[in-house]
Amino acid sequence: MTKMHKLLVLIHKGNTLRLALSYLAIIMVLSASFSVIFYQTSSTGLHLQFTSTPTSEPRRVLILDSAQPLQTGHDEALDSINSQLQRSIHDIRKQLLQRLIMINAGVLATGVLFSFYLARKTLAPIEAAMEAQSRFSSDASHELRTPITALRVRNEVALYNPDLKLDDAKTIMQDSIDQAIKLEQISEGLLRLSQNGQMLTKAPVTIEAVTNEAVRQLQEMAQAKDITIHQVMPNITVIADLQSLAQVLTILIDNAVKYSPKNSTIYIEGESEGRYALLRIRDHGPGIGSADLPHIFDRFYRADYARTKHGKHGYGLGLAIAQKLIEQNDGKITVTSVVGQGSTFTVRLPLAS
């Protein structure tokens, strides 16, 4: 375990403990306050109940002198009854206090577990966001460092080469341009991911027209691999931003062409389902492993098959951009895949009323 990982674990435990103690303190303050109020109210009620019990006034006999002993005996009986009542009130208060203490002890024991549970539920999304931000910064730095390093090294070598020929210089310049284009594409992708969607203009859009335009742009790439794009697209109109939807379809069809084998077919199908339109893009590529599927829309993520079998086609930003654009259009994008058989990306958008 690295020092950084140990530090993150300690911070994680410290934050959880502090937040759990805060929750526990709130729970115990509420419980103790309720117990005090309940005890005082109950004690006052008991006192009023016993002291307000009507007692018959002693009869005063004035004719005989023997009335005085009778009066005295009656007072002693009343004093005895009052003493018993006071002891009963004291015992009831004692039992009530003991029960309240036991209840608060139970609340404390339960509150400890509940507080830690609440602390974890509260911190989980925050920690996930921080981890995603840290991973994004690390991945972005790595992706940007590679073309920058290549650009710097090749130009330094050319600069200090006294025997550099014109053809070699042109090759180096072309490589430099390619690396600059790569940096530009990464920067544009990051910029799209940082946009919050306020510039989108949603209006009725015909899926068929947008799909045809995306296919037209990628037709030459597909023909180079003898790939056929088969469309089954009914007349469906959705509410979306035209430009962003076209970009999403271009990304998905481009990926399908890149990872499909030669002489294969890509199927683009559309249908309506309730209040939504479904657009499926299905290929017969290598598929995506179950371990990669949960991360396929993460920024800079490239599944193993893309790296080991087909090389680096892109920078791991396309699907992340597509997902964000679809979400900004109140839609959803999902993927199903079987290794060795291909993948199906499904776009779900609200239908135009």
What does the pLDDT look like over 213-226, one tens digit per residue? Answer: 889 888 888 998 99
pLDDT given at position 132 = 67
Q: What is the mean pLDDT of the segment spanning 185-210? A: 75
74-84 confidence digits (pLDDT tens): 667 777 777 77
pLDDT given at position 252 = 92
Q: Which residues contact 247 (CB under 8 A, 6 or more apart)?
A: 321, 322, 325
Give kind and range of the element (H or E) at residue 350. strand 342-350
Give kind and range of the element (H or E) at residue 175. helix 166-194
Range in 76-85, 198-207, 310-319, 321-330 the model is least confident about: 310-319
- pLDDT bin (cut points 50, 70, 90) of residue 336 is very high
Class of 137-194 in CATH: mainly alpha
pLDDT at 190 over 80: no
pLDDT given at position 308 = 42
Domain at 202-350: CATH code: 3.30.565.10
pLDDT at 127 over 50: yes
pLDDT at 48 over 80: no
Taking the domains of the chain in order of start, what are their residue ranges?
A: 3-51+74-134, 137-194, 202-350
- pLDDT bin (cut points 50, 70, 90) of residue 291 is confident
pLDDT given at position 55 = 46
Range in 25-29, 136-140, 250-254, 290-294 the model is least confident about: 136-140
Are both 137-194 and 202-350 of the same fold? no
pLDDT given at position 264 = 92
Per DSSP, the three-state class of 82 is: helix
- pLDDT bin (cut points 50, 70, 90) of residue 57 is very low
The residue among 71 and 299 whose pLDDT is bigger is 299
Average pLDDT of every residue of the chain: 79
- Express as a percent the part of the chain with pLDDT over 90: 18
pLDDT at 282 over 90: yes
Strand order in the sheet with 276-282: 228-232, 265-273, 276-282, 342-350, 332-338
CA–CA–CA angle 346, 232, 229 (5° rounding): 85
- Nearest Cα residue to 207 out of 252, 270, 275: 270
pLDDT given at position 333 = 94
Instruction: Report the alpha-carbon distance of residue 325 to residue 320 in Å, rounded.
Output: 9
Range in 112-126, 178-192, 321-335 the model is least confident about: 178-192
- pLDDT bin (cut points 50, 70, 90) of residue 89 is confident
